Amino acid sequence: MSLLGSRDEFQQGEIVDERDFEQALSDQRRRRTVPLRLPRLTLPTILPEEDQLSGTYYERDATYRRALVVADVFAAALAFLCAVALGGTGLALTAIIVLPVVVLASKLMGLYDRDELVFHKSTLNEAPKLFHLATLFALLVRLLQGALVHGSLNTRQLLVLWISFLLLVVAGRTLARRAARRIAAPERCLIVGPSGQRMRLAHKLASSQRAHTEVVGYLPLEDERRQSTDWNGRSRRRRSVTIADLPEIVRELDVHRVIIIPGNADGETMLDAISRGKAMGVKVSILPRMFEVVGSSVEFDDLDGVTVLGVRRFGLARSSSFIKRSMDVTCSAVGLVFISPLLALVAAAIKLDSPGTVFFRQTRIGKDGRPFSMLKFRSMVDGADAQKLELLERNEAEGLFKIADDPRITRVGKWIRKLSLDELPQLVNVLRGEMSLVGPRPLVVEDDQRVEGRHRRRLRLLPGMTGPWQVLGSSRIPLSEMVNIDYLYGANWSLWTDVKILLRTAEHVLGRRGQ
């Protein structure tokens, strides 16, 4: 039983603040055999025996690794057979050696170890390494073809080998991870840190569709005991568990991962918490506040044994801007040509379904704070803006106006929204240079006026048809979090980031999660 309650309890809002959380924790502890007041333990001086931790801890990660090994072997074997069959050459008995070599190469490239460290186990994030693996595989077969096949492989066969292996290994690893997710138990997490921050993180993990986790408890990083008064008015401090109780809690609650939120703790406190977690043999994750500003694209440098982080400047260099704009113009122009029949069909359906214009134009704030008119297919009744005030009490998003079953949406509008077809006219905005395919969310004037401080730097980039906010589910993300996501997008931009967002947007749309 989770000390935080079920996932449904979080989503329904039954546990809403720290006091409710502590009450739920106390009630559930009374129903468990684990004593409420755990003994204070000292830091173990040696690693615990393997059987002290649950077997599910090791089996869970092993399930993912084995599934990935099977996917890699299958992809290598099938790609090699396709290449050989294409040229009519025969296989030598020694050809079997390519399979363990591919597994060894994947291991050396860290393709089996990353899943153990991250919450979101994505094949897309490792695509560059898989590209290198496919290239290495084709080169290895080219060099050793005399021992692998009877005859020789021509250029076309090697090209087929390279392309087929790349496609098969990406597809195979994606399916392998989905299968492993169904088989493996959720990762049991213990959150260590300040009360407010650990509650927010617990809520995120409980509601996340990408993290296969279960939050089983929390622990303060520093002393958070509160003053209380007993029956005769005397003041006393309530005993609470501390970081010194971590080893006992890990064993009693079968914790797989400890997540540490530093808050205002000093370096020694952080080192002590990390050491205790690692001494227990569990995985340790850290949420450093610094990366809320600098992002993840930093370069690690070594200065006589001192680690120094090189932080990229915000925004795009001229060459990066040119590459991004070239991709925008090419893709939007080609896209408009190919989907023009679809655009005509949607326009006709809108016109026949309800009176009013085909297109909906709305003023949004673009790059450098310049307003522009954003195009969309009309999905609501004519004059829908005038009804907005009447529906404010039904708003489901923080800082933005979003209603799941908006009564203003037309029959055709509901269909085109579900498939995100209402966004397609924005390709014209992209072609004009007012928008980009990927970028920060274009905000209406009143929402933009609420964005302050460093988050205003999001306006240094063209707003996008899609972005990280769209992939995560734009209707569920509060404005305060969305602008932070946009800021980090600008701080960490790369062409590969844009490609990943476009691919994930396609998955998002095909899954019919559009709003």
Looking at the DSSP assignment, which residues form a beta bridge with residue 189? 215, 257
Query: Which pLDDT value is given to residue 277?
Result: 84
- Euclidean distance between CA atoms 80 and 273, whole angstroms: 49
- CA distances in angstroms from 332 to 228, 285, 385, 442, listed in the order given: 64, 40, 29, 18
DSSP state of 193: S
**Residue 2 and residue 213 in contact, taking contact as beta carbons nearer than 8 Å:** no
**Tokens encoding 487:** 């800021």
Q: Which regions of 366-512 does DSSP assign to beta strands (E)?
A: 371-377, 436-438, 443-444, 464-466
Is the CATH number 3.40.50.720 carried by domain 7-36+186-228+236-289? yes
Global pTM value: 0.71
Q: What pLDDT, on the 0 to 100 scale, is given for residue 275?
A: 85
Give the angle subtended at the CA of 378 by the CAs of 376 and 384, to the nearest 5°.
120
Give Cβ neighbours of residue 243 (< 8 Å, ≥ 6 apart): 192, 219, 220, 221, 222, 269, 272, 273, 276
Q: Which amino acid would we find at residue 432?
A: R
pLDDT at 47: 40
Asked whether 440 and 315 are in contact (CB, 8 A), the reply is: no
* Structure-block tokens of residue 43: 């830091």
Angle ∠(74,80,85) on CA atoms, nearest 5: 125
Q: What is the DSSP letter of 95?
A: G
- The Cα–Cα gap between 417 and 514 comes to 6
Cα-only R_g, the chain? 27
Return the domain boundaries, the chain: 7-36+186-228+236-289, 58-183, 318-510
pLDDT score of 478: 74
For residue 260, the cross-strand partners are: 192, 286
What DSSP line would sit under 416-458, residue for residue?
Answer: HHHTTGGGTTHHHHHHHTS-EEE-SPPEEHHHHTT--GGGGGG
Name, in order, each residue with C-beta under 8 angstroms of 29's C-beta and a sequence gap of 6 or more: 3, 36
Exposed/middle/buried for 355, CB within 10 Å: 0-12, 13-18, 19+? exposed
pLDDT at residue 463, rounded to an integer: 94
Taking the C-alpha atoms of residue 71 and residue 141, their distance in angstroms, rounded to an integer, is 19
Closest of 494, 395, 387, 501 to residue 441, by C-alpha: 501
- Helix 246-253 to helix 267-279 angle, to the nearest 10 degrees? 40
Q: Which residues of the chain have pLDDT under 70?
A: 1-57, 223-240, 290-297, 386-387, 389-404, 473-476, 511-515
Q: Name the 3-class secondary structure at 308.
A: strand
Neighbours of 26 (CB within 10 A): 11
Token readout for 209 is 């569709």
Distance separating alpha carbons of residues 301 and 225, to the nearest angstrom: 40
292 and 487 in contact (C-beta within 8 Å)?
no
